[in-house]
Structure 1
């Protein structure tokens, strides 16, 4: 799939795997809805992938040169060291599958697979198929004696009595994209086969992040962090997965197993990284408890009417005399929350791998803010930087305690936007 067309193809740039185009690749000159629908995805990705090499490499695009010059230059290309070659890109657009891109980066000796997040109704349906299915990582023969039954037959490992679970819809999509002979697997296999010793990097946002996590466990051994024979890829290549805004895709035990080569980055109160079928069931149970408290009598303290009455009283007292909230009322609400959380036990899927969680300093209670800490990273802000622009990044050791419920906040939806992840990752790194 990565082989170029014949040399007499006048529109082909021999130093990339994408056709040259006279159309501008500047997003500012493209129609907004075409950008949203992904019409220009190929041009943008190809332009971004080749932008750096175009300025650093002595090899430039041949599309505008005479054909006899191009042919002579192509003959000399084979003698160039691979590290001096520009990246090779492949944009996948298989029907009914999310858009994916494969980049062969010769300067870093990496094959990078990028998966897009939810865009179409078909992908929304995949997100909603959020029940769980058992799964077994692809242990290699070196680490567990046998790679069977493999990811195509998900069941508990005989070497580990605990059973692992993954998101059913994303596991099914990973099978359609990454099982031996499927579109994504073929592209990656060809790229790795053509470049001996190159490592494999998978990354994605949202749905793409969840599918990348499952693909990583289908293709790589979490103990050796190398590709396995059952994947159909060249065996023994280093593999790493980077997930941005990942959904709740695997059980906590599997997430810990995958932490050796899967890294997740979650920004603020991103609802996607907290929402799962079990979480929805918990919300339903809590709502039922609050709305139908009359079963316990009209004086039931946890009934929604009593809660609203107490809230109204506290707000009125705060309005009359700021800071006059009684400790008794605060203790009552804390006790109520603990009672509700004690009955929220259905959540069983969490973000994958080693998890880093970033927050703005002003998102915390005032008593926990650190405005004078010089170790905090400051986000770029054209209007000036203050305490609220300072980033705090935590490594989450127990996702069951941190991502076990949705936090209703003003940024729970906007935090999921990919531009926020791009901005704050650039600021942090």
Structure 2
């Protein structure tokens, strides 16, 4: 277990050791340590000792790198000696720590006698840098160390012994062994959850733990279920992704080349067949709908505030937004003051987000009803405005922009939608369901929609229609909020830009096609990701790693050197099979319900969550039309 942790630091530690050896060599060669003072002698000994320690480290790490390149990903027998090298490296790490402490003691003893000398300053710099490196290593170990690993290994060994004994004993004994096995499994799972919960607390240390403890626990549970029984390290995943990408390209070529298949091209990851329909902007109705999509996208972007505006206007953004800042208007007495009818919640002192919102959306202050930038887990910023040009009331919800938003995204398990009457098969992304419920509560408590529809009776705002928009996290929340408000506002529509792929269950998606439009651009990964999709990818990843015969370093470096190109024949050798058989195996596994069984152990059932999909009908925007078939 310690060896697995140290393995992550080998490459970076080797580079760091070489840099430190060069630096110390320069210090020994350039600086003058001659003299009768004891401090100079001690400092020279300290530098020489460090050079020796680091040289041994480089040798051990070079041997570890050489051994680690032997064998394939899952064929670990040629790398069996790696653990001993890593334990030796761990021992040297303790020696290095002890030498650091000795250096601190020497510096403290001779600081006054050698205070002004250049070698003293150099040694202090070396000690500070080495302590920084050591602290980084310790922090990384704290984040990655898995206390549940030992319990999981013991549980596996216990299960194997129980299985052997059960084959010889009666049924009653088998039941007793099963109970003990389940107890050990629950214990290991609890320790895994505690490890992930600790990591979440460390990564999101600036977020309040008291209010969000349940969210942290749910996210830790999801990570535990997803990563359990996966004996892989990050470099294994990188190699697997490289092979998966090349394998997918080969499968596409195979599909296109088949005479019996009507697929003649892949565009943005989608099959192109003679039945594929493209929307023509020459058609008036299509052009009008597309113009609506572009128009409402401005509101989805405006919800992000000043970060989005500065990203879009990198050169002149500050100059353009400056006249709309409240602090500038107050100092210069220019422009109109913020209308008292606009509620602006939790913006900064200069109202930078509000100024960017007005600039991006083109709205006047009088057209804005409510703007909030309050954010927490399950509580997403949004604004309510009136669009007189389109005669609509807009609810725009912000996408992911903070750590709290990330945690809302990660809370990706499914939850029943709180609609009336209840529909058991209407499920949604849990974090976004909570965000939609929060916004619906705000709308009712503050009577925001009533204020919007009655904001300008002379212009007929009572007859305006309701439109919900959002991007990414905001798109998913807007889609779910549209479902919750549908009964009260039957004519509402929703434009979800790049919504999450794991948002709504299939029955719910079918019922939302009449009022929700999802807009997906090209190969956007967000609209293709959900828990179920990630679990399917995990299974494909393990399968392709299992079939790989080339060493891991060769797979990764060939991808880097060839820029992802590579020749198909070499890939086939690496995958140790044929693409036709691969496709047949995957389809057969899915049909037989074995798609989520562990490829290396058929008795391990990997987690499989309810499939969730993007909402409503989907407009897929691509950069170019495909070539004609034939």
The one of 315, 318, 334 aligned to 1:30:
318
In structure 2, what is the Cα distance between the partners aligned to 1:290 and 1:323? Answer: 17
Contact 1:113 1:201 in 2 (8 A): yes
Aligned to 2:411: 129
Deviation track 1:12-35 (CA, whole Å, cap 9, x = no partner) reads: xxxxxxxxxxxx999524299x99
Aligned to 2:581: 335
* Bigger Rg, structure 1 or 2: 2
The one of 179, 191, 208 aligned to 2:452:
191
Deviation at 1:94, TM superposition (A): 2.8
Aligned to 1:214: 480
Aligned to 1:13: none
In structure 2, what is the Cα distance between the partners aligned to 1:219 and 1:210? Answer: 14
SS at match of 2:447: helix
In structure 2, what is the Cα distance between the partners aligned to 1:31 and 1:50? Answer: 17
The one of 472, 483, 499 aligned to 1:246:
499
Deviation at 1:335, TM superposition (A): 2.9
Deviation at 1:49, TM superposition (A): 4.0
SS at match of 1:266: strand
Change (3 A) 1:307 1:262: farther
Aligned to 2:528: 274
Deviation track 1:146-188 (CA, whole Å, cap 9, x = no partner) reads: x445xxxxx42xxxxxx121101110111112136667x7323
In structure 2, what is the Cα distance between the partners aligned to 1:324 and 1:240? Answer: 47
Gaps of 5+ in 2: 1-308, 326-346, 456-460, 597-607
| Matching of residue 349 in structure 1 with residue 593 in structure 2 | no
Change (3 A) 1:286 1:88: closer
Change (3 A) 1:273 1:323: closer
In structure 1, what is the Cα distance between the partners aligned to 2:418 and 2:467? Answer: 21
Higher share of residues assigned helix: 2
Superposed, which structure 2 residues align to 1:138-217 within 5 Å? 147-149=420-422, 155-156=423-424, 163-179=425-441, 186-194=447-455, 195-217=461-483
Change (3 A) 1:369 1:335: farther
Deviation at 1:352, TM superposition (A): 0.4
Superposed, which structure 2 residues align to 1:264-303 within 5 Å? 264-291=518-545, 293=546, 303=547
Change (3 A) 1:277 1:237: closer
| More displaced stretch, 199-208 vs 94-103 | 94-103
Change (3 A) 1:359 1:335: farther
Name the TM-score, length of structure 2 as normaliser. Answer: 0.36
SS at match of 2:578: helix
SS at match of 1:360: coil
The one of 355, 376, 397 aligned to 1:115:
397
Deviation at 1:307, TM superposition (A): 11
Change (3 A) 1:335 1:361: farther
The one of 350, 358, 370 aligned to 1:46:
358
Deviation at 1:99, TM superposition (A): 2.4
Contact 1:46 1:89 in 2 (8 A): no
Higher share of residues assigned strand: 1
Contact 2:514 2:616 in 1 (8 A): yes
In structure 2, what is the Cα distance between the partners aligned to 1:247 and 1:104? Answer: 27
In structure 2, what is the Cα distance between the partners aligned to 1:243 and 1:286? Answer: 30
The one of 599, 602, 621 aligned to 1:358:
621
Deviation at 1:45, TM superposition (A): 1.7
Deviation at 1:104, TM superposition (A): 0.8
In structure 2, what is the Cα distance between the partners aligned to 1:181 and 1:254? Answer: 23
Contact 2:428 2:612 in 1 (8 A): yes
SS at match of 2:396: strand
In structure 2, what is the Cα distance between the partners aligned to 1:118 and 1:324? Answer: 39
Deviation track 1:76-101 (CA, whole Å, cap 9, x = no partner) reads: xxxxxxxxxx7345322234233212
Aligned to 1:69: none
In structure 2, what is the Cα distance between the partners aligned to 1:324 and 1:274? Answer: 26
Contact 2:369 2:452 in 1 (8 A): no
Contact 2:375 2:381 in 1 (8 A): no
Aligned to 1:3: none
Change (3 A) 1:324 1:171: closer
In structure 2, what is the Cα distance between the partners aligned to 1:239 and 1:337? Answer: 43
Gaps of 5+ in 1: 1-23, 54-60, 62-85, 138-146, 150-154, 157-162, 222-227, 229-235, 294-302, 363-367, 372-429
In structure 2, what is the Cα distance between the partners aligned to 1:338 and 1:127? Answer: 34
| Matching of residue 90 in structure 1 with residue 370 in structure 2 | yes
Contact 1:361 1:369 in 2 (8 A): no
Change (3 A) 1:213 1:338: farther
In structure 2, what is the Cα distance between the partners aligned to 1:202 and 1:99? Answer: 14
Contact 1:245 1:266 in 2 (8 A): yes
Aligned to 2:90: none
Contact 1:199 1:237 in 2 (8 A): no
Contact 1:198 1:237 in 2 (8 A): no
In structure 1, what is the Cα distance between the partners aligned to 2:386 and 2:352? Answer: 20
Deviation at 1:193, TM superposition (A): 4.6
